[in-house]
Structure 1
Amino acid sequence: MATLALVRTLQLILFNCLLAAGESVASQALPGCKDECGNLSIPYPFGMTPGCYLNESFLITCNTSVSPHRPQLVNGNLEVTSITLEGQVEILHYVAKDCYNRNGTTADRNFPQLRTAMFTISNDRNKFIAVGCDTKAQIWAEREHNNNTYFTGCMAYCEKTDALHLNDSCSGVGCCQVSIPSGLKNLNMSVSSYYNHTRVWDFNPCSYAFVVDESKFSFSDKSFGELAHKEFLPMALDWAIGNEPCNVSEHKPDYACKQSSICYNPENRSGYLCKCKDGYNGNPYHPDGCEDIDECKDSSLHNCISERNCFNTPGSYKCFCTKGFYGDGEKDRKGCMRNQANVIKISIVIGLCVLVVIVGSSWLFFINNKRKLLNMKKKFFKQNGGLLLQQELHEQRVSTETVKIFTAEALKNATKNYDESQIIGKGGFGTVYKGILKNGTEVAIKKSKVVDQSQIKQFINEVIILTQINHRNVVKILGCCLETEVPLLVYELVSNGTLSKHIHCEDKAFSISWGIRLRIATESAQVLSYLHSAASIPIIHRDVKPTNILLDDNYTAKVSDFGA
């Protein structure tokens, strides 16, 4: 746990440092103030015009006579190359030189100074360095805390053979260096020679001394030649607000730390600095103060399992689990686990939804098929003359009990869906099925193979005529069904089969006596005579044969298959 907390803290510190470094590039000046000079962005409390800086000590002048424009410290013409809100400014400062002619006379010499009352020389970034083979260098400056003078220096010596084999180490051979204490200001430097470089003039006519950011200077055997063309080297300066610590300054009206920032005392100088609180970024000196960091949008700043499990709070964040899960929502701890009760509920809901979809789909499929079937029945009913039949029955005032129009469903149920076991006859005309109607009546249902659509009207008329025939020796037609592709005719059931079977099958031929045969012939002749001559509308059979004469249980003749 302690390690995790340390990692989080380091992440936030690193992020704030990167943001602060980036803020030196971004615009952080006061509203209406110019924020750039050349390539440098100038954040408040620094500024270039009245009203745009905290006080005169933070004034940066912009030299527009050169290109690009050059930002400079107010107390001189030293160029500013970087400003950070962590209390440091980088400038280009003069290199001290002491150069001679071959005969030992002075060729070039300078004694650089630095007078910046508010700034002190950064002791953690800079070192005092002297370069040369006949060199002694000194530095003296004031100590900020007591104004005492600080003095130090170093010397470097080398002969020609040494100069040719330098090991890039600044340790006295061709180069020397000393650390400087904190709080130095009002700097003076000097460099001189013991023998006016007469012994080493061929390869080293000059001595050099400078205070430099040690990360930006590396000594090597090339340094002698390179420094001959260098007038400036980068130096880091420290700055702070005022000269009093936080506990004194924070009660004053000119306290510089703004909203969501905290005050801290720098280690290497007096005064105070401001920084954004953890979880915030921006310019702590700007009137708008620091802004909250939304850690949830950057996975490196939060420990939640995902962005959607992260809730941003002022200066921090919280991890949580979404509905249906439990835990702390953190990557390295419990995370989020699904609530088993909810899993069951969700499973039930999903199951019910699937069931509803299946049932609904089946119902829609059934309704759709039923609608299609109904439309098909209507189509066949119309196609087979159903409307014509209804019209004729109405016009002729024929009772629906005399001619019954059966539904396709009723006949399907009566024949057990036209099961083969119900077949009682087959022929070129089609198939005859035995059926039992809902009221128990046994019937014979004739299912033709084809129908001639051009003869539909004649077919309907003949059905009406045949249903009106009431003769004991005629197979009575009970009605029809017009809802199928070919019309179905429904007759009374004559159970003893055809005359053809009785006279041609050996096992039945002897069951009919000659007297019965004569009676069957007589009854057939009489009914044909009735149909041909006595009926109100004569009906010619045209197909008289034993297979069209049926017998009931009493061997009474029943003539069938005529007209329709």
Structure 2
Amino acid sequence: MKLLLVYRILLVIFLSLTAASIAAAVYAKPGCDDMCGNVRIPFPFGIGANCSVNEWYVVNCNSSIPYLSALDNLEVLRVDLGNQTVTVNMQKISNCSQTKSVDLRTTPFVYSKSHNRFVFEGCGNAVMMGDHDNVLTACSTMCSKFDTTTTVSIQRSNRCVGLSCCETTIPHYLQSYSMNLTSLERHMGGGGICGSAFLVDENSIEGSRLSHQSSVAEGSSYAHTSLLWTISDVDQLQVTCCDKNNRKGYGRIVDMGNGTTTNTWKCHYYESSAGNPYLIDGCDDYRSVSEECSRCEDRGGYCHYDTTYDVDDYIYNSKFTCGVYRGYIYEESRSSRTSLGVILGVSISIGVLFLVAITYMLYKMIKKTKIKRRRERFFKRNGGLLLTQQQKAYPSLIDKTILFTSRELEKATNNFSENRILGRGGQGTVYKGMLVDGRIVAVKKSKIIDESQLQQFINEVVVLSQVSHRNVVKLLGCCLETDVPLLVSEFVPNGTLYDHLHNGTDELPMSLNMRLQVATEVAGALAYLHSATSTPIYHRDIKTTNILLDDKHRAKVSDFGTSLFVSIDQSHLTTLVKGTFGYLDPEYFQSSQFTEKSDVYSFGVVLVELLTGERPISLTSFGENRSLATHFLLAMEEGRVMSIFDAMVIKEGTRDELLVVANLAMRCLNLNGKYRPTMKEVATELENIRTIRIPSIVQSSIKPIMYGEELFMLMSGESTSTFLSSGNTITQ
């Protein structure tokens, strides 16, 4: 009996300890539920308004299914405190027209790069675009048969490799995007289904267990997407990190990847620990972050980390200090300062005995060696070896290129001051500077992140070094001895053609003569690049933002970062698709084969912009009218092209003059590249239009413009009907 009583007592003690251990695993605030169905909702999220850190983290539990009410009621599938992510059920995009994503720009959430993949299922192309219709990434598939009802399931054993399904990474910084899907059958002339595109969590791709109504398997319209969440300085006051002194948490600076940063707060998290580290009673144990932190605490100090992270929790840099709180003022620990002073004093005393005798003799030699090595290191890292190889291959092209020193350019740009910035682009930032000889220049500071961007910079140096044309921005030199390479070119003071057409930068609108002059000069510059240089050059990104205007409104073509040299015996190049949506040649986008006629297509879009004053991609129109090129061709086919011209153009030009220019633009936009004119032919016709302006005595001999089915057949390359040329000539 006594033995049985002892056993019962031990059993009660064991069960009590077990219950206490279980009770210690706290995940939600007091009085709040931490489970909704099978999904755990830990703080800073909470079920109900008073259970979360702020309104963005409120979760509604409806029929045992959790939803984020502030984010369009997205279904919550999982909250990961270690990765600081929340996985939600997000609808796939399957609309053929451009479709916007869920906008996170005003929220504390971003789409996680390290946890998501961009996936496209179907037969065709999917293009992800940013806020200004710039292409962020794209994915294309091929199908053995045009069976658009069949998709490929994403399983570990069969990843998307391009057959009916493809996948790629997403950009570093992403809070909103739009998707443009096109069907492979639509390009071939049929109706076609555009398939579906979506961001999907990497764990879902690898075959993790899916929720009851969402999956990335065949036939599903939803996918698992992971969002990274942050906690602001204000909200961190509610976060105790297991201890009221916040000893287990740290503030951090998050680099958003787009030139901005934000402050956030994170608690230390260990997978073996039960409970929630974001609550004062949510942790069952405590371990110091590092040995230096343990030593600091043993001396009565306080561990402080000043760490910069990117959006996916990768450390940029971290600085540790040991301090104490005195009132409300943070001070460095006295014991830490004392220890550091002793160490420094002893080290300096010993070092002086050995260094005094040799310091004077080695000073100058060491200084020169360090400067030389630093310059050599930067020179190699910034593409100096590539430039040397290009110089050997094209010795006549780069001999006259000036290599500027870093001190010259720092002085010219006032140490790259923010108020000297002329503009920012995908490849770098451009600063205005003044050299010691008084010349005003533009200094382009590149964003060299990987080898492909480094190749673009060296490519731009090589391209511009051989170009000598009054309508092409002149390269003055470069600097490779800085942390990032610098490109120095002439300064063009009057902004971009895009700003003059669409942003109202002029007090007076552009006249018809001015528009024809700009078109003629750009066409002449492209004709020069295509046929007059020793090695033909394809620009590959002709658009109004890459056309600058000087103080006399003369056009200058700029931004050769994506340009290519072409051997004379080559008719086309097979490349990765690069360019700007709205200007991109459909034939090049479909075949990945770039020819000189692809530049002609992009110029045709610029010419239509000059005639209509409209943007290449409309933000207000839908369907076929969204693309300016398609809108223009339909207007030509239906005989109503005059109705879409800019009021200034109609006021200053005659109907016959405008139809001649419109006919030339239509030829440039022919869907079949072989039926487009060369840039040399375009430049000649524009020059004739400017000088002749179609005298009335010649107008009667001009063949009327064609509309309807005849024009449609011509645009498809199925007819040999004639096009109307400038003056009184008709070309085949």
Q: TM-score, normalised by structure 1?
A: 0.36
Instruction: Give the structure with the higher percent helix.
Output: 2
Q: Max radius of gyration: which structure?
A: 1
Structure number with the higher strand fraction is: 1
